[in-house]
Structure 1
Amino acid sequence: PVPSCTLQARASAVVLVLSALEAWALDSYIAAVYEHSVLLSEDTEKPTSPEEALMLMDRNMDVLEVAIKEAARQGAHIVVTPEDGIYGWVFTRETIYPYLEGIPDPQVDWIPCADPERFAPSPVQKRLSCLARNNSIYVVANMGDKKPCNSSDPRCPADGHYQYNTNVVFDSEGKLVARYHKYNLFVTEKQFNYPKYPEFVTFNTSFGYFGIFTCADILFHDPAVVLASRFQVDTILFPTAWVNTLPLLSAVQFHSAWAMGMGVNFLSANTRNSTLDMTGSGIYAPDGPRTYYYNTETENGHLLVKELSSHPRRSPGYPPAVNWKLYASSIKWLPSNDHYFSGVIYHDLFSFTELTEPEGNRAICQKDLCCHLSYKMTEKQKDDIYVLGAFDGLHVVEGEYYLQVCTLLKCRSTDLSTCGQPVETAQTKFDMFSLSGTFGTNYVFPEILYSGVQLAPGEFEVLSDGRVISRTGTSEPVLSITLFGRWYEKDPPHTERASP
């Protein structure tokens, strides 16, 4: 038996360590994200040498280095860079291979900057590690991992190795503290494999508990929802290469809504590429955006730096739990059938009803979802046509996932057949709005988008009975007000929807 004095000594040592950690812990921290205009290979169809691949990656890391140093100069504790930010995205399985490195499990306790030869050549990991170490900042980056496999593994690709779209995190000492393999690959990512099981990657710091995933992962339950709700992380790190898809899925719109709906801080670093309509990065808190960037004018990169609460769940302003169908289920008025028509938003067939009056109450139903709107326009501009829309069904293009969506949106023109098409400008402001729906899911993300694809921090709130309402009149003309619901239980199995 261990003497009780030894046990007491151990116990007090543990208490000392914990209280030291507590004293060292920060109530807030400075976050940074960098939107990067990636330098791309001229020909990704033709195999290149490892030396040429490294030259391209070094050119991108030269740009990232300037941003990381500037973030550190501004006091940032952590900086997030975009998905595909080191080499781009248009590759075949063969042509991306020279860009990949073997990335070990972080449990190996490795600082590549101090010990670059410990594993196979890892020039990218070494450089990222040194950037973190030399600037005393956590660095989050996206790169490619390769892992050998053999024929005894039935999933092993014909070329004998797995290739993963991978996020890495190096701490302020340059140590590899996290490695995440993307689970929900976008349909164009033929160059990568997804891991057999979703990975739930977290790490602890003196300024909070972090989780990490990539781009299309945000649309699915695993690992995104699990990290936020089961693991209760404080902050999500999100490298992305997000193509803006208005009216419901532009980057700043959806990522800020997800942070709010899941009650987490969210650091989103997007790529900047005008031909693919990629822009939109942000630092988001559960009660709204702290800062964000959306720019279709220039090709330049952009650094965002802002303070966040380390543990948002502990803050007094933390949003209460929401019953997303409580209010809408109590409403008696239903739509009149003579006023509705169909329209398409991003390949989904919505039911619409036009807001013909400058103020009033409207409702529209599709399947089990009824959407209810009360509104008053400040002054209805004659060229601005608004509709209330509902969609309850499986989205099947570029991924399969089940949606329930209530949306008030501006049509592209006065022709009703344009309702649901992308539009970036509006002229009509609203004195008030209240939108709710009879959702079958608890996962609903509230999106408010103003003219010019701008967010509305502080101008709306979500009530615990499932209404999103205006706090004041809208300060800018409205593009859309949306409750974007995800019914994960109705999704098809992962292998059927995500396998390139």
Structure 2
Amino acid sequence: MLYHDPAVVMASRFQINTILFLTAWVNTLPLLSAAQFYLVQALGMGVNFLSANTHNSTLDMTGSGIYAPDSPRAYYYNTEMDNGHLLVTELSSHPHLSSDYPVAVNWTLSAIFPCSTCGQPVETVQTKFEMFSLSGIFGISYIFPEVLYSGVQLAPGEFKGAHIIVTPEDGIYGWRFTRESIYPYLENIPDPVVNWIPCTDPSRFGPAPVQERLSCMARNNSIYVVANIGDKKPCDSSDPSCPRDGRYQYNTDVVFDAQGKLVARYHKYNLFLGEDQFNYPKEPEAVTFETPFGKFGIFTCFDILFYEPAVVLVSKMQVDTVLFPTAWMNVLPFLTAIEFHSAWAMGMRVNVLAANTHNTSMEMTGSGIYAPAGARTYSYNKKTEDGHLLIAELDAHPRLSPVSPPAVSWNSYALSVERFSQNDHEFTGIIFEDLFTFTELTKPGENLTVCQKNLCCHLSYKMAEKRDDEVYVLGAFDGLHVIEGQYYLQICTLLKCPSTNLSTCGQPVETAQTKFEMFSLSGTFGTSYVFPEVLYSGVQLAPGEFKVMGHPCDLSDISGQKPTTRAT
């Protein structure tokens, strides 16, 4: 790749559209880290670039990516561990015909790095540049512009090609506030019917510096911007519900369109424990808005576990895509962010754009762009506090897409199944304070049933190998969950236990060695709202590797399948 022939020849003479690049690249900062230099090849040569790098952190080999001429569509750079990573995204087959194709230039941006004995490798910095312009007089037309952020992150024109960006709950002002301490951060956020562009008329509804900044970001980048901020509304004694301090304070999502106009405002209805600085609205709000690329709905974090407004937006309002700012604390085994949010997209047959606050000390990590057929891209990182920008393409109308799973009658198959014989290993265990009924998987393959109240769960499975050092169970729960809120749950789960001691079953597990050649899991659920989850070892999703059929979820005959910690 570093030479004229054949690399440059292919692009300049043969006018190819895409380069396939297999490599075992040893990263060399400051100019030749893999993800960094591959991107500039795509940009400099004006082609798509599909690079697959060997991943061996001991040899400084990491960094694969799928790059378009205007930006990386997906890339992976991880020096912390030796887990591989599959990258999947869409590219224009003829990038030079794309509207995002960069214009020809005769100047370049190059790497910028601080002097720490200048020229030696540097990975992290604190300095931010509001702007810079860098050019040179080069004696060659093949120029490869590079910009690298702290933490070895690429810095392309992030918004290019994107239509909408979602930011996390509490992402602007943080958390741990009282009603009084949050008040200076609140602004009057009007109903979007007022037809307001804060960027051009910032004082129309009182001081609104945050809304002005967000509106200008949207307007200046021609992109929809979604953010979570705080709203304040005065009240008085004529309102019997008016708080003592004379105002309502709301956890609020706002959306500005590509012209910077306020097009949506949502007040969070299902407040989580500790959100005492906010009030909940008197009625749940089903907030939607139309765009040239589909109908959108919006809600926040804890809302996703309740019927209103989350399910209503899909079942009654028929949105195509849900915008989901969140500050989600991961709770294994069922409620890790990437696991449940992707399952919700699949179960509801909509796109979900989930932006999670990243704070590992509070178990907050995991953002993703999810389609009904699986995650288009996601990030789950417990090792560092580095944020991550995710970019992917989605079908504007996913229910019409041929790759979306069909509508499912979730319990029809389970009701038709003659109850499998129960074994002699049934026992109870606690998961997140809920009492489950378990039965142990004692054989390499068999059919099992476990029941609790009105719910029966049926499992057919075959392990590649039955290990003596790992225990799996089939579990059922049918009841009211009362910890951190109250909601009714029915759960069928295939679950790995932390040890061979059955009393540990239900405790958090992140790793496994056992592989399943196939399994089929179904349940006699009393609702049509069912969210299928499969999680691999290392808290990894299994996008595209299991199917939601007209009856149960199936995972079978998949090359390169990984050890599974649970399926629910």
State the TM-score, normalized to the length of structure 2. Answer: 0.72
The residue aligned with 2:204 is 118
Q: Structure 1 residue runs of 4+, over 6 Å off?
A: none
- 2:186 is matched with which residue: 97, 100, 103? 100
The residue aligned with 1:392 is 478
- How far 1:204 sits from its partner (Å)? 0.6
- How far 1:132 sits from its partner (Å)? 0.7
- How far 1:74 sits from its partner (Å)? 3.4
- How far 1:381 sits from its partner (Å)? 2.6
CA 161–299 in structure 1, closer or farther in 2 if over 3 Å, else same? same
The residue aligned with 1:486 is none
- 1:469 is matched with which residue: 548, 554, 562? 554
Q: Which amino acid in structure 2 is aligned with residue 481 of structure 1?
A: A
8 Å CA contact 2:452–2:476 kept in 1: the answer is yes
Separation in structure 2 between the aligned mates of residue 226 and residue 462 of structure 1, nearest angstrom: 22
- How far 1:88 sits from its partner (Å)? 1.1
Give the alignment of 1:323-342 within 5 angstroms: 323-336=409-422, 338-342=424-428
The residue aligned with 1:303 is 389
Separation in structure 2 between the aligned mates of residue 98 and residue 197 of structure 1, nearest angstrom: 26
Q: What runs of 5+ residues in structure 1 fail to find an aligned partner?
A: 1-29, 34-58, 483-500
8 Å CA contact 1:72–1:136 kept in 2: the answer is no
Note the alpha carbon deviations across 1:333-379, whole angstroms, 9 max, x for none: 34537321111111111000110111111110000000000001111
Note the alpha carbon deviations across 1:51-96, whole angstroms, 9 max, x for none: xxxxxxxx99x9xxx99x9665431110000000001111111111
SS at match of 2:407: coil
Q: Which amino acid in structure 1 is aligned with residue 444 of structure 2?
A: P
Q: Which amino acid in structure 1 is aligned with residue 327 of structure 2?
A: A
Q: Write 1 or 2 for the structure with the bigger share of helix.
A: 1
Note the alpha carbon deviations across 1:133-181, whole angstroms, 9 max, x for none: 1111110000000000111111110100000000000111111110000
Structure 1 stretch displaced more, 316-325 or 114-123: 316-325
Separation in structure 2 between the aligned mates of residue 362 and residue 120 of structure 1, nearest angstrom: 64
8 Å CA contact 1:461–1:471 kept in 2: the answer is no
Give the alignment of 1:378-417 within 5 angstroms: 378-417=464-503
- How far 1:303 sits from its partner (Å)? 0.2
Separation in structure 2 between the aligned mates of residue 460 and residue 337 of structure 1, nearest angstrom: 27
- 1:276 is matched with which residue: 362, 374, 383? 362
Note the alpha carbon deviations across 1:32-59, whole angstroms, 9 max, x for none: 99xxxxxxxxxxxxxxxxxxxxxxxxx9
8 Å CA contact 1:103–1:146 kept in 2: the answer is yes
- 1:260 is matched with which residue: 346, 353, 357? 346
Q: Which amino acid in structure 1 is aligned with residue 310 of structure 2?
A: A
1:345 aligns with 2:345: no
The residue aligned with 1:317 is 403
Q: Which amino acid in structure 2 is aligned with residue 291 of structure 1?
A: T
8 Å CA contact 1:450–1:479 kept in 2: the answer is yes
Q: Which amino acid in structure 1 is aligned with residue 406 of structure 2?
A: P
Separation in structure 1 between the aligned mates of residue 189 and residue 170 of structure 2, nearest angstrom: 16
Note the alpha carbon deviations across 1:248-276, whole angstroms, 9 max, x for none: 00000000000000000000000111111
CA 144–73 in structure 1, closer or farther in 2 if over 3 Å, else same? closer
SS at match of 1:308: coil
Q: Which amino acid in structure 2 is aligned with residue 463 of structure 1?
A: M
SS at match of 2:181: helix
- How far 1:230 sits from its partner (Å)? 0.8
The residue aligned with 1:446 is 532
Q: Which amino acid in structure 1 is aligned with residue 519 of structure 2?
A: F
Structure 1 stretch displaced more, 397-406 or 114-123: 114-123
Q: What runs of 5+ residues in structure 2 fail to find an aligned partner?
A: 1-70, 75-126, 131-148
Q: Which amino acid in structure 2 is aligned with residue 283 of structure 1?
A: I
The residue aligned with 1:40 is none
Note the alpha carbon deviations across 1:289-320, whole angstroms, 9 max, x for none: 11111011110010000000111122222322
Give the alignment of 1:124-203 within 5 angstroms: 124-203=210-289
Q: Which amino acid in structure 2 is aligned with residue 109 of structure 1?
A: N
Separation in structure 1 between the aligned mates of residue 318 and residue 199 of structure 2, nearest angstrom: 32
Separation in structure 2 between the aligned mates of residue 301 and residue 209 of structure 1, nearest angstrom: 28
Separation in structure 1 between the aligned mates of residue 437 and residue 335 of structure 2, nearest angstrom: 18
Separation in structure 1 between the aligned mates of residue 224 and residue 409 of structure 2, nearest angstrom: 37
8 Å CA contact 2:298–2:324 kept in 1: the answer is yes
CA 342–397 in structure 1, closer or farther in 2 if over 3 Å, else same? same
Structure 1 stretch displaced more, 308-317 or 365-374: 308-317
Identity percentage of aligned residues: 69
SS at match of 1:254: helix
SS at match of 2:490: strand
SS at match of 1:362: strand
Separation in structure 2 between the aligned mates of residue 341 and residue 321 of structure 1, nearest angstrom: 34
Separation in structure 2 between the aligned mates of residue 411 and residue 254 of structure 1, nearest angstrom: 20
Separation in structure 2 between the aligned mates of residue 168 and residue 472 of structure 1, nearest angstrom: 45
State the TM-score, normalized to the length of structure 1. Answer: 0.82
The residue aligned with 2:136 is none
SS at match of 1:321: coil
The residue aligned with 1:205 is 291
8 Å CA contact 1:436–1:468 kept in 2: the answer is yes
The residue aligned with 2:162 is 76
Separation in structure 1 between the aligned mates of residue 359 and residue 323 of structure 2, nearest angstrom: 21
- How far 1:324 sits from its partner (Å)? 1.3
8 Å CA contact 1:364–1:388 kept in 2: the answer is yes
The residue aligned with 1:490 is none
The residue aligned with 1:434 is 520
Separation in structure 2 between the aligned mates of residue 104 and residue 333 of structure 1, nearest angstrom: 56
The residue aligned with 2:139 is none
Separation in structure 2 between the aligned mates of residue 407 and residue 244 of structure 1, nearest angstrom: 18
Q: Which amino acid in structure 1 is aligned with residue 531 of structure 2?
A: F
The residue aligned with 1:369 is 455
8 Å CA contact 1:266–1:283 kept in 2: the answer is yes
Larger radius of gyration: 2
- 2:176 is matched with which residue: 77, 86, 90? 90
- How far 1:472 sits from its partner (Å)? 2.6
Separation in structure 1 between the aligned mates of residue 156 and residue 494 of structure 2, nearest angstrom: 40
Separation in structure 2 between the aligned mates of residue 348 and residue 371 of structure 1, nearest angstrom: 17
- How far 1:223 sits from its partner (Å)? 0.6
Separation in structure 2 between the aligned mates of residue 334 and residue 160 of structure 1, nearest angstrom: 61
Q: Which amino acid in structure 2 is aligned with residue 269 of structure 1?
A: A
Separation in structure 2 between the aligned mates of residue 308 and residue 82 of structure 1, nearest angstrom: 20
8 Å CA contact 2:248–2:278 kept in 1: the answer is yes
Separation in structure 1 between the aligned mates of residue 282 and residue 156 of structure 2, nearest angstrom: 38
